Structure 1
């Protein structure tokens, strides 16, 4: 419909312009012909005299002639249709007031184009019937052509629209099918061109991302179930033992106070381990989704806060800080959690008399954080999988933890556009290195001190 309407408007405008141009051209041609015929008749009339000049018989169509005598009377060829009366302006031409005159006159039936030219003591007139038939025929032809173009444009537009929208229809059907079946494995065929192809490719990329997300969720659920199985089994067995002994009334005799205290401590440790694992699973499952806003912050403040939390959680951990002020753009809580996990991981391996060393410095356009311990280090075979979820080296099986701490570090660092690596420290232990893009510090703000002076913060 849009194509047909556009063609109709185009044909109408073209018809109007062409009709005007054709009318002007025909009128100009007719006037030139009238002038030429008038000059020939005037020359003949001047030689023979207006009263005696031989007027050719009227041929039945075409031009009409008339001679205006000095007394105002007129002569016309025999059999010629009567022309409109001589106008006042034409009479003045015959009287010598002006040389010529082009005018249009209407009679009862026809319209005339009349040219009056001074000749001798009078004037001659040559006229032609105004014929609109060429323009009418032209208009009829344009109308027929316009109708054919409208029909053809509508058919072509419909064909082009259906052909162009066919990939969209198939894309819609495929999207509906995916929504109903929840099958993310079927890619939509890449067809069409231009914007449609880019749209299909974008949707296929979205489906691939959804497949990866579903696969990651499934792996996380499977890994979580596997990791939860051992502590839950141990916790259930210990609780069942206590319940069974309590029902028999032999709890005090079967379990001495020392054994009962050790069992209750084990239960508390297992519950704590489950709580930590659940919190880490929740944090990991959320991925990059967070309500925390990004801000420009001093990473040194984050490192100091994380070290303080680590000391409060495990008083036996000694943390040696060597930090300088480096500004980054990030989420404070997520970065603090990552730094805390690094310190906790190093604290598990570092001997009691060796502190965990935490260093922060600016290195080029990056903020570099290093955490190293004096433990046994990481085997070369374990280095590629250090940041994998739930991965724990054989030497770490007996230590507390879920294997999620460094995975969370990796996710936070990736979300901030950084890079986490592992190497061997100078003390022989593990050196975990995090590089984050540095940011320009915020502009200083002025504040009033207690004495009324202005200080820069």
Structure 2
């Protein structure tokens, strides 16, 4: 419809312009011809006189002539149709009061274009019918051509529109099919061109991301079910044992005080392990989705807060801090959780007499955090998988934990555009290093510390 309307408007405007040009050209030609014919007639009249000039009979078509005599009477050829009465302007030309005159008379069906030229004491007039038939025929032809163009434009526009929108129709059908079947495994055929091709490619990329997300969720659910099975089974068996003994009334006799205490301690440890596992699973299931906003923060404050929490959770742990003020743009709670997981992981391996060492420094445009212990270290075979979910080295399976702590660290660091690595420390244990992009300190702090070399913060 838009194409047909545009063509119709274009044809109408072209018809108007062309008709005006054609009419003007025809009128100019007719006027020039009348002037030429009147000069020929005037030459003849000058030789013979107005009253004596011989006017040949009217041939039946073509020009019409008339001689205006000084007394106001007129002469016309025999058989010629009557012309309109001599106008006042033409009479003034015959009297010499005005120059030659071109006038038209379109008051009736027989309109004339009349040219008046003074000759002697009178004037001669040459006239032609004002014939609009050429313009009318041209207009009819333009109308027919315009109708054909409009019909052709509508047909072509519909064909182009349907062809161009066919991939969109198929894309819509594919999207509806995905919404109805929840099947995101099949890609949408890559067809079309330009914007449509880019749209289809973008939707295929989105479907691929959804497939990866669903696969990750499935793996997480399967791994979580596997990891939850053992502590839940142990917890259920211990609780069932207590219930069975209590129902029989043999709880005190079957379980001495020390055995009962050990069993209750095991139950408490298993509940605590399940609570930790549930919290870590929640963090992993949330992925990068977080309501916590990004802000400019001092990593030293984050490290000190994480060390304080680690000491409150495990009073026997000793954490040695060597931190320097380094500013980054990040999420404080997420970074604190990552640092806390590193400290918890190191505390499992570091001997009681050896502290966990935590160092923070600035290196170029990066903030570098290192956590090392004096334990046995990580075997080279385990290094590639140490950050995988639920992965636990052979030597770590007897220790408490779920194998999710370092996975959370990896996710937090990735969300902050950083990197985390594991190597062997100088004390023989594991050295885990986090590198984050540093940020410029706040303007107010820069003004307060102008002239100072460094600003450091350390905690025991």
Tell me the TM-score normalized by structure 2: 0.94
Residues 84 and 107, structure 1, Cα contact 8 Å, conserved in 2: no
Task: Write the distance in 2 (CA, Å) between the matches of 1:204 and 1:184.
Answer: 9
Task: Write the distance in 2 (CA, Å) between the matches of 1:371 and 1:100.
Answer: 112
CA drift of 1:68 comes to: 1.5
CA drift of 1:107 comes to: 4.9
Counterpart secondary structure, 2:126: strand
User: CA deviation digits over 1:62-118, x for unaligned, max 9?
Assistant: 211112222222211111111111111111111112321111113543111111112
Mean Cα displacement is larger for which, 156-165 or 384-393? 156-165
Counterpart secondary structure, 1:447: helix
User: CA deviation digits over 1:372-427, x for unaligned, max 9?
Assistant: 11111111111111111001111111111100011011111111111111111122
Q: Call closer, same or farther: CA 1:209–1:225 in 2, change over 3 Å.
A: same
CA drift of 1:274 comes to: 0.2
Structure 1 unmatched runs, 5+ = none
User: CA deviation digits over 1:154-207, x for unaligned, max 9?
Assistant: 111121111111111111111111111111111111111111111111111111
CA drift of 1:447 comes to: 14
Structure 2 unmatched runs, 5+ = 454-460
Counterpart secondary structure, 1:344: helix
CA drift of 1:120 comes to: 2.1
CA drift of 1:288 comes to: 0.7
CA drift of 1:445 comes to: 8.3
Task: Write the distance in 1 (CA, Å) between the matches of 2:129 and 2:388.
Answer: 100
Task: Write the distance in 2 (CA, Å) between the matches of 1:105 and 1:403.
Answer: 106
Task: Write the distance in 1 (CA, Å) between the matches of 2:178 and 2:4.
Answer: 37
Counterpart secondary structure, 1:46: helix
Mean Cα displacement is larger for which, 91-100 or 386-395? 91-100
User: CA deviation digits over 1:13-62, x for unaligned, max 9?
Assistant: 11111111111111112111111212222222222222222223222122
CA drift of 1:270 comes to: 0.4
Counterpart secondary structure, 2:443: coil
Residues 84 and 106, structure 1, Cα contact 8 Å, conserved in 2: no
Residues 307 and 319, structure 1, Cα contact 8 Å, conserved in 2: yes
Counterpart secondary structure, 1:420: strand
Q: Call closer, same or farther: CA 1:179–1:105 in 2, change over 3 Å.
A: same
CA drift of 1:313 comes to: 0.9
Task: Write the distance in 2 (CA, Å) between the matches of 1:95 and 1:246.
Answer: 146
Q: Call closer, same or farther: CA 1:331–1:448 in 2, change over 3 Å.
A: closer
CA drift of 1:442 comes to: 2.6
Q: Call closer, same or farther: CA 1:445–1:13 in 2, change over 3 Å.
A: farther
Task: Write the distance in 2 (CA, Å) between the matches of 1:55 and 1:316.
Answer: 139
Task: Write the distance in 2 (CA, Å) between the matches of 1:246 and 1:111.
Answer: 127
Q: Call closer, same or farther: CA 1:389–1:450 in 2, change over 3 Å.
A: closer
Q: How does 1:336-347 map to 2 (within 5 A)?
A: 336-347=336-347
Task: Write the distance in 2 (CA, Å) between the matches of 1:47 and 1:303.
Answer: 125
Q: 1:37 — aligned with what? A: 37
Q: Call closer, same or farther: CA 1:116–1:451 in 2, change over 3 Å.
A: closer
Q: How does 1:6-405 map to 2 (within 5 A)?
A: 6-405=6-405
User: CA deviation digits over 1:296-340, x for unaligned, max 9?
Assistant: 222221111111111111112211112222221111111111111
Task: Write the distance in 1 (CA, Å) between the matches of 2:378 and 2:56.
Answer: 125
Task: Write the distance in 2 (CA, Å) between the matches of 1:407 and 1:280.
Answer: 9
Residues 106 and 130, structure 2, Cα contact 8 Å, conserved in 1: no
Q: Call closer, same or farther: CA 1:105–1:154 in 2, change over 3 Å.
A: same
